[in-house]
Chains A and B, each alone.
Chain A
Amino acid sequence: MNKLILGRYFPGDSPIHKLDPRAKMIAGIAFIFISFMAKNGQGLILLWLFTFFVMSLTKIGFRVFFRGVRPLIWLILFTVFLQILFTAGGIIYFTWGPIKISEFGLINALFIFSRFVTIIFVTTAVTLTTKPMELTDGLNFLMRPLRFLHVPVDELSIMLSISLRFIPNLLDETQRIMDAQKARGAVFGEGSLFRQMKALVPIFLPLFSGSLNRGEELANVMDVRGYRSELPRSSFRQLTWKIKDTVCMFVILLLIAAFAVLNLVID
């Protein structure tokens, strides 16, 4: 039912798996910005080298990463083609009406493609090596400064973790309800778009109603177990920052420095 590899945890004990989720998330987000620092051929090579380095460190086969790119490949190719066909600059190789295939266009396309794909690969490396709960823990920590803006970070965090916890349940229930309705002669995925949407009502409504029920029961349980959002709460789940995490941050800084140097030297 869900083929999106982007969010799926892949068990393992590689160096990347063992990093603190905060380090990984910071590194991942930093990388997105760093990728824009690649402005020349050497920068591009560095970008790809670093990406492959991270990918191989996860000890997860490259095929899994490629599967993560696949859903987005059309968007990427579309953007790339737009660049190729409509950006003018430098030597023009081919013209036909509004279409101009030029040197700039091709180079830009290469850079855009590289950024897209390396960003996907690196962020996938983060989500493949970090359990969803760890991601929430990391997110919780990173969102802390937002408290000053009166954003209810702790509530959002607990909402997120409870939602995550119930995803397998939702999957199960959806399948069960689908089976039950199929057993009563319901047909899914056939007919006009309208008909297909209408056919989903016997699935969505029970799911929705069940979720509302569940929400109410959970709220009661939380209440009875003393949950009061306005009072300080401790956290059983603890993240411990280790030396390897500092090393990770250091590597990112090195990468930034490397790009900065490249951009200074080459030009």
Chain B
Amino acid sequence: MNEQIIQVKDLTFKYEPAKNNTLSSVSFAVNKGEWLSVIGNNGAGKSTLALLLIGLLKPQSGSVFVCGMPLNEETKWTIRRHAGIVFQNPDNQFIGATVQDDVAFGMENLNMPVEDMRQRVTEALELVGMLEHREADPSRLSGGQKQRVAIAGVLALHPDLLILDEAFVMLDPRSRRELLATLKQLRAEQGLTILSITHDMNEAAASDRILVLKNGSVANSGLPADIFSEEMDVEAPFSERLRRLLLSKERRTPESYLTESEWIQWLCK
């Protein structure tokens, strides 16, 4: 029986005093060790979902269970020890004066003894490849480096769940690729459960499962290959865009989504 890290049931939310719901009856679950991507066009409610899951917003109705605990005003502090979130703006989440100070911030809030903090800071920075920059101040870091520090800050608490709210959207393509590789490595080594909200299809393609939100409701969910083949109005990775293009020209194409290397082999058959 696979432990479910997140269970969302009939989640409904709207920003007062708006008339329409941003999210309507959203239900889904995330299993331990899974990497779920949440995609959908702008206004679909993706970021709102992240804020709800971490307890920054309160839903009008529905329930959220994180690590088996119901999320509410009392439990949110406990839940935040098991789940961390990285937001989009690298600068507006860097609180410490230096890299290591920032990583330690979450632990300071838990009144952790200094020796334990020191060890965890070192471990966390090592995991994200920022150990040599431990004393750097943020003005000398690139956006990608700052996001690594943010991830380290979450990892230092040994969380069960990492939520990424379009965390790579402000980074240049190269940094995005490097961070994606780091995430994959972290997942393999640490068995981290990841929920990433994104419109980067390469990021979505790397995940185990994709959830598609449309106008605040769950429109589809499944394996990346299936989603990319089925969901025509959502932006797709390059190889899928190529396939759709050839389809529209009524040419011979693979029946469903293929990765780049699969494509090339198919072309040479």
Residues of A within 8 A of B (CB): 133, 161-162, 164-165, 168-169, 172, 213-214, 217-218, 220-228, 231-238
Contacts of A168 in B (CB 8 A): 137-139
Contacts of B55 in A (CB 8 A): 224
Q: Are B89 and A217 in contact (CB under 8 A)?
A: yes
Separation of A169 and B97 alpha carbons in the complex (Å): 13
Separation of A236 and B95 alpha carbons in the complex (Å): 13
Q: Are B105 and A224 in contact (CB under 8 A)?
A: no
Interface stretch, picked from B3-11, B77-85, B199-207, B240-248, is B77-85
- 14 more A-B contacts (CB under 8 A) besides A221-B87, A225-B109? A165-B96, A165-B138, A168-B138, A213-B92, A220-B56, A222-B95, A225-B84, A225-B105, A226-B77, A227-B105, A227-B109, A232-B111, A233-B108, A236-B105
Contacts of B128 in A (CB 8 A): none
Contacts of B13 in A (CB 8 A): none
Contacts of B211 in A (CB 8 A): none
Q: Are A236 and B121 in contact (CB under 8 A)?
A: yes
Q: Are B100 and A236 in contact (CB under 8 A)?
A: yes
Q: Are A236 and B97 in contact (CB under 8 A)?
A: no
Contacts of A228 in B (CB 8 A): 77, 109
Q: Are A233 and B97 in contact (CB under 8 A)?
A: no
Contacts of B111 in A (CB 8 A): 231-234
Q: Are A233 and B109 in contact (CB under 8 A)?
A: yes
Q: Are A226 and B56 in contact (CB under 8 A)?
A: no
Separation of A221 and B167 alpha carbons in the complex (Å): 13
- Residue B106 CB within 8 A of the other chain: yes
Nearest Cβ on chain A to B20's Cβ, whole angstroms: 23
Contacts of A161 in B (CB 8 A): 97
Contacts of B228 in A (CB 8 A): none
Contacts of A218 in B (CB 8 A): 92-93, 95
Q: Are A234 and B89 in contact (CB under 8 A)?
A: no
Q: Are B91 and A169 in contact (CB under 8 A)?
A: yes
Q: Are B117 and A236 in contact (CB under 8 A)?
A: yes
Nearest Cβ on chain A to B86's Cβ, whole angstroms: 9
- Identify which of A133, A221, A226, A231 contacts B93 (C-beta below 8 A): A221
- Identify which of A172, A221, A234 contacts B95 (C-beta below 8 A): A221
Nearest Cβ on chain A to B26's Cβ, whole angstroms: 20
Contacts of A214 in B (CB 8 A): 91-92
Nearest Cβ on chain B to A188's Cβ, whole angstroms: 24
- 14 inter-chain pairs at a CB distance below 8 angstroms, sorted by A residue, are A133-B101, A165-B95, A217-B89, A218-B92, A221-B93, A221-B95, A223-B56, A225-B95, A231-B111, A233-B108, A234-B107, A234-B108, A234-B117, A236-B118
- Residue B219 CB within 8 A of the other chain: no
Contacts of A221 in B (CB 8 A): 87, 92-93, 95
Contacts of B84 in A (CB 8 A): 224-225
Q: Are B138 and A224 in contact (CB under 8 A)?
A: no
Separation of A162 and B111 alpha carbons in the complex (Å): 19
- Residue B110 CB within 8 A of the other chain: yes
- Residue B104 CB within 8 A of the other chain: yes
Nearest Cβ on chain B to A140's Cβ, whole angstroms: 12
The 8 closest A-B pairs by CB, nearest first: A236-B104, A168-B139, A226-B109, A217-B92, A133-B97, A225-B106, A221-B93, A234-B111
Q: Are A224 and B54 in contact (CB under 8 A)?
A: yes
Contacts of B94 in A (CB 8 A): 165
Q: Are A225 and B80 in contact (CB under 8 A)?
A: yes
Nearest Cβ on chain A to B248's Cβ, whole angstroms: 41
Separation of A162 and B92 alpha carbons in the complex (Å): 11
Q: Tell which of A162, A164, A228, A237 has the most Cβ of chain B within 10 Å.
A: A237
| A165-B96, A217-B87, A218-B93 known; A236 vs B114 contact (CB < 8 Å) | yes
| A233-B111, A235-B108, A236-B107 known; A164 vs B97 contact (CB < 8 Å) | yes
- Residue B113 CB within 8 A of the other chain: yes
